[in-house]
Homo-oligomer: A and B are copies of this chain.
Amino acid sequence: MQKTQVAIVGASGYSGQELVRLLLGHPHVAISCFTSRQYAGKPVTDIFPKFRGLVDAAFVEPKIADIVASGAQAAFLALPHGVAAEYAVPLLEQGIKVLDLSADFRLKSAAVYKDFYEHDHPAPALLARAVYGLPELHRDAIKKADLIACAGCYPTSIILGVWPVLKQAKNIIVSSMSGVSGAGRKVSEEYIFPECNESARAYGIPKHRHLSEIEEQLGQTISFTPHLIPINRGIVSTIYIDAAVPDPLPVYREFYQNERFVRVTDALPDTKNVAMTNFCDISARFDKRTKRLVVVTAIDNLTKGAAGQAVQCLNLAFGYDETEGLL
């Protein structure tokens, strides 16, 4: 069977690296080109030595014509917000399906985008066309979409935790912890090893950008505090909900019984059990004392929170089994 050709645009960051790792194991997909403005001309394995012996290609400039010429039928955009939209428009015009890992097309409202991202939306006309790339919520729409806005890492961990009880949910408060790869491959003093190791800290409160998509999906205003902790990969979200669900595990189990990538567990989730997988582990406890439901979820921010989710969406959009390349 002919493999589907996909381009990875902005392949030199951690999401790009994870895409490469996953697609190397995908039976029906081949990478047609790896673009990187910064590293164009250099072998991919100069930047990602872990792929030596597995990848024999060089980064190319991210030119639309070249991406088209590579035979790409789909393109993953692993680019900063604002920049991703610049590529999405011409790629779509060329008939290439776009799986955007940035935040550019996750919201329906250009005004909310501007409020949270502090610049005008670069392609508001496409917002209606985009589908929010969280398969557990929007599977059917993703199958038909050509512009998929893959859900963010924190949002994935939070929305999946709330979704089964959304109708009863009030006063949602979320405290999340993320590994440092969540900041991308960003070279900044706050992310050098001695500043992160033996460090734990909250940041970005009270109005983290990811709130916009979480609130749009949930239809509620919530409180959210992200924290940075010294692990490479993984997010844990602890979610407090005013919801009278005295025995939550059966409710969650039934709700997700057909979802291959959501595991409802008796034990509380641990990032180490989901690292380098596309699973979202979920457990829950009802606190009789306060009448609050406490839901805890764990994902790998680079897999189910980024590249894995994007591959899952690609599988849906191209009619493959949803788990190809992911189990």
- Is A268 an interface residue, CB under 8 A from the partner? yes
**Contact across chains for B193 and A191 when beta carbons are under 8 A apart:** yes
Q: Restricting to A218-251, which residues have a CB under 8 Å from any CB of B?
A: 221-223, 225, 227, 229-234, 236, 238, 240
Q: Restricting to A19-61, which residues have a CB under 8 Å from any CB of B?
A: 49-50, 52-54
Which residues of B lie under 8 Å from residue A186 when comparing CB positions?
192
14 further A-B contacts with Cβ under 8 Å, apart from A173-B173, A223-B240, are A52-B263, A171-B171, A177-B177, A179-B194, A192-B193, A193-B197, A201-B236, A202-B238, A203-B268, A205-B287, A206-B290, A223-B294, A225-B296, A229-B230
- Is A107 an interface residue, CB under 8 A from the partner? no
- Is A180 an interface residue, CB under 8 A from the partner? yes
Q: List 24 A-B contacts (CB under 8 A).
A: A49-B281, A50-B272, A50-B275, A50-B277, A52-B273, A173-B240, A180-B193, A185-B189, A185-B192, A193-B196, A197-B197, A197-B232, A198-B233, A198-B271, A199-B270, A199-B271, A199-B272, A201-B269, A205-B294, A206-B289, A206-B290, A221-B290, A225-B294, A229-B230
- Is A94 an interface residue, CB under 8 A from the partner? no
Query: How many Å lie between the Cα of A70 and that of B281 in the bound state?
Result: 31
Range class of the A interface residue count: 35 or more
Which residues of B lie under 8 Å from residue A50 when comparing CB positions?
272-275, 277
Q: Which of B14, B221, B263, B274 makes the CB contact (< 8 A) with A289?
A: B221
Query: How many Å lie between the Cα of A173 and that of B171 in the bound state?
Result: 11
A100 to chain B, nearest CB (A): 23
Query: How many Å lie between the Cα of A315 and that of B296 in the bound state?
Result: 41
Q: A221-B290, A223-B292, A289-B221 are in contact. Are A200 and B273 (CB under 8 A)?
A: no
- Is A181 an interface residue, CB under 8 A from the partner? yes
Q: A53-B263, A202-B268, A273-B49 are in contact. Are A197 and B230 (CB under 8 A)?
A: yes
**Contact across chains for A177 and B200 when beta carbons are under 8 A apart:** yes
A158 to chain B, nearest CB (A): 13
Query: How many Å lie between the Cα of A135 and that of B263 in the bound state?
Result: 38
A214 to chain B, nearest CB (A): 12
**Contact across chains for A230 and B227 when beta carbons are under 8 A apart:** no
A281 to chain B, nearest CB (A): 8
Q: Restricting to A122-142, which residues have a CB under 8 Å from any CB of B?
A: none
Q: Restricting to A162-187, which residues have a CB under 8 Å from any CB of B?
A: 171, 173, 175, 177, 179-181, 185-187
**Contact across chains for B194 and A180 when beta carbons are under 8 A apart:** yes
